[in-house]
Amino acid sequence: MVSLGSMKDNQVLLAFSTYATIVVVKMMLMSLWTSYFRLTRKVFANLEDTKLFSSTVDKKLVGVNPDVERVRRCHQNDLENVIPFVLIGLLYALTGPELSTALLHFRLFAGSRIFHTIAYVGALPQPSRGLGFFVGFGVTLSMAWTVFRTAFTH
Amino acid sequence: MVSLGSMKDNQVLLAFSTYATIVVVKMMLMSLWTSYFRLTRKVFANLEDTKLFSSTVDKKLVGVNPDVERVRRCHQNDLENVIPFVLIGLLYALTGPELSTALLHFRLFAGSRIFHTIAYVGALPQPSRGLGFFVGFGVTLSMAWTVFRTAFTH
Amino acid sequence: MVSLGSMKDNQVLLAFSTYATIVVVKMMLMSLWTSYFRLTRKVFANLEDTKLFSSTVDKKLVGVNPDVERVRRCHQNDLENVIPFVLIGLLYALTGPELSTALLHFRLFAGSRIFHTIAYVGALPQPSRGLGFFVGFGVTLSMAWTVFRTAFTH
C-alpha cells in the first residue's frame, strides 16, 4: 500500500519526482535552444522580434530555417511523449509498484528521451531516433498497463 | 473528505486513473497513426527518414501531405484538450466529489474525445467535430469550477 | 511535513490548485480565441469547416492568416510552459514549502503568463513578451530546483 501523505516517506514518489523533473526540464530547455537558433540564424516568427537586429522592423528576418524547425519538431515530440510519461507515471507511482521496477521504468524513459534528443537534433541516421522514441513509448505503455490492472482488480 | 493515501481505497481516484489513462493512451496512438500515414504516403519531415525508402537520402520524400497533416492537427487538438482534462481532473478528484458525478464527467470526456477523433480523421461534416470538442471542453470547465469553489470555501 | 490526504487541510495544495486551474483555463481559452479569429477572418484549417460559410465546401477558405497564426503561436507557447509549471508545481507542493514562498511562485507565474499573452497577441514591442516568458520560466526552474533538493536530501 502506497502513501502519498509525505513525498519524503515514499521512495517511489521521490524517484518519480526526480526523473519527471529531469525530463520536464530537458523539454523546457528546447525553448532556449530554439531561441538560440533564431538569434544566431536571424530567423524569427514575429515581426516585433526583428527589432532586436535592426533599427526598424524587418520583414526579411521573419521566416523558416531548417535548424530552427528541427529543434521545434524535437520539442513537439517531447510535448507528445514526455507529458504522457509524467501524467501516467504519477498514477503509476500511486499504484504501489516495487521500487526496483519503478526505477527501471523511470531510468529507461529518461535515458531514451535524452538519446532521442541527441539523435533528432544531430540528425543521426535512422533507426537511432526511432529507437529512442519507441523505448520511451513502450515504457509509458507499460506503466499505463499497470494502472489499468490496478484499477480493474480493486 | 478524500484521501489520496492509497489509490486502492479511493474510488474516485481509481475511476480517474482509468479514464485519464484511456484518453492519454488514445492521444499517444496519434503518433503511431502519423507514422503510419508518413510511411504509406511516403512523406517525411526529416531528410534522414527518407533512407527508409531509398538507398540515398531523397529530398523529394520530404514534404507535406493532407492525410498526415489532418492526423497531426487532431493530435495537436488532443494535446490542447486532453492534458488540461488530466491536470484539472486530478485536482478535481482531490476535492472529494460524489463518485457518480465524477464518473459522469470522466465518461462524458472520454466519449467526446473518441468521437472527436473519429469526426476529425474521418472528416465528418460539421458540427460533428465541433460537438465533440465542446462537450469535452465543457466537462473540463465544469471540473475547474468545482476546484475553484472548493479552494475559495476552505 | 505535507499531507495530500485532503486538499482541504493543505493550504499549499489549495493555493496550487487555484493558480494551476487559472493558468490552465487561460490556456484553454486560446482555443476559443483561435476559433473566433478563424470565423471572423474566414480562414479555416479543414475543408469541412468552410461549409459554415458557403453552401458547398470552398477551398479558398482554407489557408493561413497572420492573426490566427499569432494566437496559435501564443497557445503553443502556453503548452510549452504552463504544462511544465503544473507538473513540476504539483511535485513542488508535495515537498512541503512555506505557504508564503509557494504563493510567491504561483502568483509570479500566473501574472507573468497573463502578461505574456497580452504582449504576444497585442504584438507589444520586445522585450515585453521575452520578459513574461523568462519570469515564468524562472519560476518553474526554481520549483524544479526545490524538488531536486528535496529528493537528494531524503
pLDDT above 90 covers a percentage of chain B that reads 71
Instruction: Give how far the C-alpha of residue C120 lies from the chain's centroid of Cα atoms, to the nearest Å.
Output: 13
Strand partners, B62: B44
Q: What is the pLDDT of residue B57?
A: 73
Look at residue A96 and tell me whether its pLDDT is greater than 80.
yes
Look at residue C53 and tell me whether its pLDDT is greater than 90.
no
Partner residue facing A6 (CB), from C1, C126, C148? C1
When pLDDT is cut at 50, 70 and 90, the band that residue A88 belongs to is very high
Mean pLDDT value of segment B84-95: 96
Are C16 and C89 in contact by the 8 Å Cβ rule? The answer is: yes
Torsion of CA B53, B59, B63, B65, to 10 degrees: -40
The domains of chain A, with CATH numbers, are 17-28+66-153 (1.20.120.550)
Are A35 and A52 in contact by the 8 Å Cβ rule? The answer is: no
User: Alpha helix (H) ranges present in chain A?
Assistant: 11-41, 66-94, 99-121, 128-152
Strand partners, C62: C44
What lies within 8 Å, CB to CB, of C138 at 6+ separation is: none
Q: What is the pLDDT of residue A147?
A: 95
Decide if B73 and C46 are in contact by the 8 Å CB cutoff: yes
Distances (CA, A) of B17 to A61, C6, C83, C85: 47, 18, 19, 21
- Residues of A with CB below 8 A from B87's CB? 87
pLDDT (tens digit per residue) in C74-102 = 999 999 999 999 999 999 999 999 999 99
When pLDDT is cut at 50, 70 and 90, the band that residue A8 belongs to is low
What lies within 8 Å, CB to CB, of C18 at 6+ separation is: B147, B148, B151, B152, C106
Secondary structure percentages of chain C, helix, strand, coil, to 5: 75, 0, 20
Partner residue facing A83 (CB), from B13, B31, B83? B83
Q: What is the pLDDT of residue B138?
A: 97
Q: How far is A17 from chain C (nearest CA, A)?
A: 6
pLDDT above 90 covers a percentage of chain C that reads 70
Decide if C7 and B3 are in contact by the 8 Å CB cutoff: no
Look at residue B7 and tell me whether its pLDDT is greater than 70.
no
Look at residue A104 and tell me whether its pLDDT is greater than 60.
yes
What's the CA gap between A86 and A99, in Å, rounded? 17
Are C27 and B84 in contact by the 8 Å Cβ rule? The answer is: yes
Question: Is residue C84 reached through a cis peptide bond, with omega within 30 degrees of 0 on the bond before it?
Answer: no
What was the ipTM of the complex prediction?
Answer: 0.90
Tell the residue number behind the cell numbers 465544469, with chain if given: B142
Partner residue facing A52 (CB), from C70, C95, C126? C126
What's the CA gap between B83 and A87, in Å, rounded? 8
pLDDT averaged over chain B? 90
Are A47 and A90 in contact by the 8 Å Cβ rule? The answer is: no
Distances (CA, A) of A62 to A35, A42, A48, B151, C120: 14, 8, 10, 44, 16
- Cell digits of residue A137: 513509448
What lies within 8 Å, CB to CB, of A138 at 6+ separation is: none
What's the CA gap between A39 and A52, in Å, rounded? 9
- Residues of C with CB below 8 A from B9's CB? none
Q: How far is B145 from chain C (nearest CA, A)?
A: 9
- Residues of C with CB below 8 A from A7's CB? 2, 91, 94-96, 150, 154
pLDDT (tens digit per residue) in B54-80 = 777 777 888 889 999 999 999 999 999
pLDDT (tens digit per residue) in C11-31 = 999 999 999 999 999 999 999
Q: What length is written for chain B? A: 154
Predicted TM-score (pTM) of this structure: 0.92
**Closest to C79 (Cα-Cα) out of C14, C136, C16, C148:** C136
